[in-house]
Amino acid sequence: MDGQSGKTMQSLPDTLSSLKGFNKYLTPGWIESVSHILKELTPTKPHKVMEEDTQNVFECHDTELDIKVAKIQDEMVSLGAQLKQKTLQKRESLNNYLDLKGSIRVFCRMRPFNHEESYSSRTMFTLDESNVFLKVAETKTKQYKFDKVFDPCSTQGDVFSEVEPVIKSAIDGYNVCIFAYGQTGSGKTFTMEGKPKDLGVIPRGIQVLFDRASESNSRFQLTFSMLEIYMGNLRDLLVPGSKTNGLKNVPSLSIKTDPDGGIEIENLVAVTVNNFQEVKRLYGLGTRLRSTASTMANSTSSRSHW
């Protein structure tokens, strides 16, 4: 397009606007002629310039976007490294804590007295944070020392706060065993299982395992098994009909040592679990299959170790 044509193109809008007052004299032929002129005068280079400008704008925008994305990626890498470092420090601190506390710890929890128990028995002992003093005679007291003593007013949360670090260490590869020991009616089931609105060690610990695994940078596969030791035999509590069929019809489980020195129980059912609710369902199933009997202190006292 030459200079004159460019000037004509620039002044064309004003010219068309001035002709609007004479629209009654305009004919279809005239409009067609003007349209033909417009097509012939359609600028090529200016459009090309606009396309180039638009392309440059997009290129600049893409460049800025790439820079921002790269910056975010760098920040994510940095945060990932910091998280990994914090995780290692946290794991090291936990392991040091457990080493200081000892690999084997024994707790004592005193349950509240019930109305059927005599008042005299309530004055037979005193305690502090790590000792129980039992009065065995008028002037004689016997001392029992523990790593931790929970008084009758202790809560489920108080007990779990002491065992939670041990449970967390399982995700780091440590073997963990937590069990309750005591006579019938001493409160073992309440401490370990609790109630729906006052959970015990087992449900709290399972939830912590899932939380710990989800926070880790590693991937874990969690499996659930449940068995009991009854009359010297191992019985799988997840085998359907194991209780109704009797011990004679249940496959005998044997304990062996694996090549790494760990304990392995052959033929024990292990179910892969993905969340707390799946474990809760399996735990309920295994609990119903336990060997129980009625006693004066407990109508469903467990007759086995599990």
Please report, for the chain, the start and end positions of each structural domain, with discontinuous segments joined by +.
3-40, 104-154, 160-217, 221-306
Longest CA pairwise span in the chain (Å): 131
Rounded Cα distance between 211 and 168, Å, is 10
H helices of 141-293, where?
Answer: 156-169, 188-192, 201-215, 276-288
Binding-site annotation, residues: 182-189
The pLDDT tens digits for 150-208 are 999 999 999 999 999 888 888 887 888 999 999 888 899 999 999 999 999 999 999 99
H or E segment and range at residue 80 = helix 45-101
SS3 content of the chain, % helix, strand, coil (to 5): 50, 15, 35
Average pLDDT, the chain: 75
Rounded Cα distance between 109 and 95, Å, is 25
Q: Yes or no: say if 250 and 201 are a contact pair by the CB < 8 Å rule.
A: no
Q: Give the residue, 11 or 128, on which the prediction is more confident.
A: 128
Angle subtended at Cα 220 by Cα 214 and Cα 223, rounded to the nearest 5 degrees: 110
Region 265-275: mean pLDDT is 91
H or E segment and range at residue 30 = helix 28-40
Q: Give the residue, 153 or 20, on which the prediction is more confident.
A: 153
Whether 264 shows a pLDDT value over 50: the answer reads: yes
Q: Quick one: pLDDT at residue 37?
A: 52
Rounded Cα distance between 269 and 255, Å, is 14
Q: Quick one: pLDDT at residue 226?
A: 92
% of the chain surpassing 70 pLDDT? 65
Return the structure tokens found at 85: 């470092």
Question: Which residue in 64, 76, 7 sits closest to 41, CA to CA?
Answer: 7
The pLDDT tens digits for 41-74 are 444 445 555 555 556 655 666 677 777 777 777 7
User: Which whole-number Å values give the CA distances from 149 to 112, 120, 123, 134, 204, in the listed order?
Assistant: 14, 22, 17, 14, 20
Q: Quick one: pLDDT at residue 67?
A: 79
Binding-site annotation, residues for ATP: 182-189
Residue 234, φ and ψ in degrees, nearest 5: -90, 130
Whether 19 shows a pLDDT value over 70: the answer reads: no
Q: Quick one: pLDDT at residue 223?
A: 94
Residue 177, φ and ψ in degrees, nearest 5: -135, 125
Q: Quick one: pLDDT at residue 293?
A: 52
The pLDDT-based confidence of 28 (bands split at 50, 70, 90) is: very low
In sequence order, what are the beta bridge partners of 292?
302
How do 148-150 and 107-109 pair as beta strands? parallel
Return the structure tokens found at 281: 């369902």
